[in-house]
A and B are shown apart, each in its own frame.
Chain A
Amino acid sequence: MSEQLAVPVALQRGRPLGYWGMLMLIATEAVLFGAIIASYFYIRFRTPHWPPPGVPEPKVLHPLLFTIVLIVSSLPAGIASWAARRQLPGRAAWGLFATIALAAIYAAGTLVVMVHAWHKVGAQHDAYDSLFFTLQGAHVAHVAAGILINLYLLAKISRGRLTQYRINGIWAMSLYWHFVNILAVFVLLTTISPSL
């Protein structure tokens, strides 16, 4: 009996707890965005003109380009996680750095798009604008939070060791990252839908 119960210490077979925790967070965030998007279409299908008269149709090209840049960042995020799990701190750091840089382009670009839209009509004109700004703003906020956390992880592993705790952090953050990027597609399709 005791043999069978010996604990395989060296063997980390399971995924870290933080990984599962992150999955739960992602699930709840997915519903959060789902509810905002559902509200968008709920209101849209009760409104005769969408966008309402006097409000310009949403731009397509710039948001599309920025979203593509963001989606590309899933690649370095995946590399960072892969490298961290294989104890390759250098490559993990580069992966994180590239992820952050690409995401920063998306965040900055999207903010510019939002500021432009704000100057045209603002969010207080009509339900259409309120929904647009809330949805887009919520997404940029998620990207920004991700950037901050990745910066923190980057600082930690470039100045210190690659501990198991940090590996788990990078691993979980890469999940978050893929999620936010998939979300970007839905947010994009929703926000540009009136122009399609």
Chain B
Amino acid sequence: MSTVVGREELQRLESIWAEKPGLRTFLTTVDHKKIGTRYLVTSFAFFVAAGLEALSMRTQLAVPDAGAIGPKAYDELFSMHGTTMIFLFVTPMLNGFGNYMVPLQIGARDMAFPRMNALSYWIYLASGIFLYSSFLLGSAPNDGWFNYTPLAEKAFTPGLNIDFYNLGLLFLTVSSTVGATNFLVTIFKLRAPGMSLNRIPLFCWAMAAQSFSLIFALPALSVANIFLELERRFDFHFFDRAHGGDALLWQHLFWIFGHPDVYIIFLPAVGIVSTVVPVFARRSMIAHDWLALATMATAFIGFGVWVHHMFATGLSNVTYAFYSAASMVIVIPSGVQIFGWLATVLKGRPVIRSPFLYILGFIVTFVIGGVTGVMFAAIPFDQQITDSYFVVAHFHYVLFGGAVFPIFAGIHYWFPKITGRMLDERLATWSFWLFFVGFNLTFFPMHILGLLGEPRRVYTYHPGFGWGLWNLLSTIGAFTLAVGILGTVVNVLWSRSAGAAAGDDPWGANTLEWATSSPPPEYNFPSIPVVHSVDPNWDVEDRRDDARRLEHAELTLSGGHETIGTDWLDADIEEIHEGPSESPWPLLLALTLSWFFVAFLAGHWVIAGIGVGLIAVAVGGWHLKEPGE
């Protein structure tokens, strides 16, 4: 059936887009699929690191008065565990899925700024290594993941610990900002013709909402980090009372970022849920538009609730009332989403496979976490259990339940697309149950421990308090959970080469990433798909049209690294964009930035200054070769 024209087009695309295998390509590639995979692998490695830190803590807490870990090491462990999970695992992991899947789901050939995409990965990697090198110097961040002043000031934490935290996060922020910009422009400007606003897949909506939140939230964190670093290094004053500063300023800045960050973590995860639910419920998502709206609404309301993290600090009563109300309002969009999923599942003919199991696990967990969350919004209750293990239980239900369950769903769901092979379903099911039971066994007892009065962030407890049994259960749970995760790792490693062949579309899914082969070719789609509904891959006739267009060399864009630009509202074709191909500059720029941050950390100002010069040179070099040349 394929014609000469069609075959020639394919060959041309192949020769334009193919990257030679080898080290050079490895260092210079700008292919969003390779970068996405790297994000996934790297962030999973950080998940393992933070998981091992958690296991060490749980081992220490298994029995009263244990001596495995002292207070100093414990401080570093929980700080690095929290920081890693939040900054180096969840968000980058979801960005990994985003990187791989967003261009495919919208029918594009790459991200809007492919080199910046590579840049954001290299910076992410470098900043992660930077943060973790603190362990080698024996001075890992140790003041908790939110690093409150005055404790984090030089007078109280004199070592390099907090400098690692400040500089590492500033460094990482560059990556996140670049990434968020890239996602937004990609989603709003590069969609396939016909994919109007109301046909954008919910996962892409979620990535867009997340990116918006990042753009508007991250600077507050950066300012906090910059202030604190200036104070620690150059004796500026922002947070110390003695010189007119105010320690609460840190808390405000941190939570202006930190609260939206909960949604930054949570939104893309929810996007995965909304992707998987219709596929396994075997019907179109009910209230698709409302879910898209709820996604955006959550992102916006998220900014109004930061003060609720500070109910225990003593602000005025009106302020309290206002933020208490805002904290409750956020329940509405979440409710819309839950009902949307449930209705879709109930009205559909659900098929239970491993990705869907994780989604069901997510829904159960999320409801429990939501209930305890609404309890906090009642301020007297909040003041009662602040800084107890109840809080630890709550935020793990929200963060782990809300993000890690969907992430695992995503791993199981998209594995066939990325590798072309299926995971072993039996092993996946076993792993899921260990994961689910282990999770609840780890974190449910923490609610009780919190009500019994066990404080968080303390490295041991007295046998007479009667907390031993629940703590032991929690530790057993943590190891069960670890075995479940290990099961998934083994499954992934084994199935990557030995799994059953997946074919283009093993789940019979509705979005466009399944309209191309598994794994997709470098150019993603031979002919850019044209879209007429929210479930483009269920429009069989449309997909046949794509194939026909290839035969006539229509919309194949075989003149270079090209993709189609469309207008943001109706996705009418505007123009063809010529993108860049491999480039060494993203890596080099990331290296010069690393130079600067390391020199700054070491306090070598001249070398840091040279670093700034090198950064400028790298930015210049970046633009020497222009796309299309």
Contacts and interface: CB of A to CB of B under 8 A. Distances in A.
Interface string A25-53: 10111011011100100110011000010
Contacts, number: 137
Contact of A124 (B226, B236, B549): B236
Interface stretch (A11-19, A72-80, A82-90, A180-188): A11-19
A163 B627 CA distance: 10
Contacts of B573: 5, 7-8
Contacts of B185: 17, 20-21, 24
Nearest to A29: B219
A185 B231 CA distance: 27
B244 A35 contact: no
Interface in B226-266: 226-227, 230-231, 234-238, 243-246, 249, 252-253, 256
Given A14-B574, A17-B112, A127-B238, A165 B627 contact: yes
A98 interface: no
Contacts of B243: 125-127
B244 A127 contact: yes
A21 B117 CA distance: 13
Nearest to A2: B554
A17 B574 CA distance: 12
Nearest to A44: B244
A11 B565 CA distance: 12
Interface in A118-155: 123-128, 130-131, 133-134, 148-149, 152
A148 B623 CA distance: 14
Interface stretch (B176-184, B357-365, B440-448, B474-482): B176-184
A14 B188 CA distance: 12
A7 B219 contact: no
B238 A31 contact: no
Most buried by A among B223, B238, B252, B564: B223
B67 interface: no
A9 interface: yes
A130 B573 CA distance: 51
B230 A14 contact: no
A32 B574 contact: no
A1 interface: yes
Interface in A68-123: 123
A35 B256 contact: yes
Contacts of A39: 223, 227, 238, 249, 253
Given A152-B620, A169-B623, A130 B237 contact: yes
Interface in B96-123: 112-113, 116
Given A28-B216, A29-B219, A163 B249 contact: no
24 contacts: A1-B545, A5-B530, A7-B557, A7-B573, A7-B575, A12-B574, A12-B575, A21-B185, A29-B219, A43-B246, A46-B246, A123-B236, A124-B236, A126-B237, A127-B244, A127-B245, A130-B230, A131-B238, A148-B616, A152-B620, A165-B623, A165-B627, A165-B628, A166-B626
Interface of B: 112-113, 116, 177, 180-182, 184-185, 188-189, 193, 215-220, 222-223, 226-227, 230-231, 234-238, 243-246, 249, 252-253, 256, 530, 545, 549, 552, 554-555, 557, 564-565, 567, 573-577, 616, 619-620, 623, 626-628
Rank and list the top 6 A-B pairs by shortest CB-CB distance, nearest first: A127-B244, A32-B219, A14-B574, A130-B236, A24-B181, A31-B219
